[in-house]
Structure 1
Amino acid sequence: MKRAVTILALGLAVVVAADGWVRLAPIDPARFDVDGLAKAPGDHPETGGFQAVRDVSDPPAQMAALDKIIRGTARTKRVAGSADEGYAAYVTRSALWGFPDVTTLWIEGDTLQIRGHLVYGKSDLGVNEARIKGWLDEVGL
């Protein structure tokens, strides 16, 4: 019985430590870099993420509207840039474990580029695509 309690306590300690690491570990700023990532208008699924590109008539105004929606999303924080700069990066964390997803939003010519991708693992299970498409629908893009 004592051995089972010890094993259970050690298992719980490992889970708590892993959760703390996922929530508190710094995210490499290179994950916010968008150099060379611009794509043609359309939807572009990626391994572990998703990128959407929209032709827009007024990129700064439409980026500002999208930035406002993104900042209003639960568990999402802007970590770099701003709509005024034409580039912004955000981190959205999952509700249960706090796994981070990085989203970058930027203006490239007459397009608005938005890319979301996971930080840990290999599959985001379509979460970034659903989140990005929801934001775009909400702003009317």
Structure 2
Amino acid sequence: MTSNRPYLIRAIWQWISDNDLTPHLLVNADAQGVEIPRQFVEDGRIVLNVSASAARDLELGNDYISFGARFSGTPMNVLVPVSAVLGIYARENGQGMLFPEDEGGDAPPDQPDDNTPPTGGRPSLKVVK
């Protein structure tokens, strides 16, 4: 299956926006393909305001998030691979979702790599933190 991260980002962006709050992305600035203003990077991460009023031509795609914005008055185009997004949250109250820093493959880490179905036992759910 494909990653659920882009779908969750879009859904949480919509939820935050619908509640008249300001969505922010936490991004791994050192990830491959990230095009951001480097002068605002702290500890290898950057926080980006992706509200409708701050991000011009915002596109929350399946592979990349892109938009135009002003940084210290200077216009810049931003490009962030979805895999580099570490979280999305509301500035005002911190509510949102954090994602794992590295999104291995498409299969969860506790699943076998082949397509062999599990044998016996009951299906179970586990809490993911």
TM-score scaled to structure 1, two decimals? 0.28
Larger Rg: 1
- Select the structure that is richer in helix: 1
TM-score scaled to structure 2, two decimals? 0.30
